[in-house]
């Protein structure tokens, strides 16, 4: 399983999403990648007002807020 967090520096919601993901990483088997949307105009257009966005195995699962229980259930299945 591969988890991608689309985020930007200084985003407190992104920090909270990262905390949820990292807390679960020790309990579930998945790889984690964080992508700074400010490095690409295309990513800014796609995700700019929706961050953080969490994609699991290529499918968007969360945006703006990551539910800790929902994320845990998803990555532990």
pLDDT along the chain (77 residues), means of 10: 97 97 94 97 94 97 97 93
On whether the pTM is more than 0.75, the answer is yes
**Percent of residues, the chain, with pLDDT higher than 90:** 95
Pick the CATH number of 2-15+23-64 from 3.40.30.10, 3.20.20.10, 3.30.428.10, 1.20.210.10: 3.40.30.10
Sign of the Cα pseudo-torsion (43, 32, 53, 13, in order): negative
Burial per residue of 12-49, b for 16 or more beta-carbon CB atoms within 10 angstroms, e otherwise: eebeebbebbeebeeebebeeeebebeeeeebeeebee
């Amino acid at each position: 399983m591969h988890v991608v967090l689309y985020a930007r520096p200084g985003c407190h919601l992104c920090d909270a999403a990262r905390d949820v993901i990292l807390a679960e990483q020790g309990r579930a088997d998945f790889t984690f990648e964080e992508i700074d949307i400010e490095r690409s105009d295309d990513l800014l257009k796609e995700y700019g007002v929706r961050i953080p966005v969490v994609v699991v195995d290529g499918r968007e699962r969360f945006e703006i807020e990551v539910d800790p229980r929902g994320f845990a259930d998803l990555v532990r299945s």
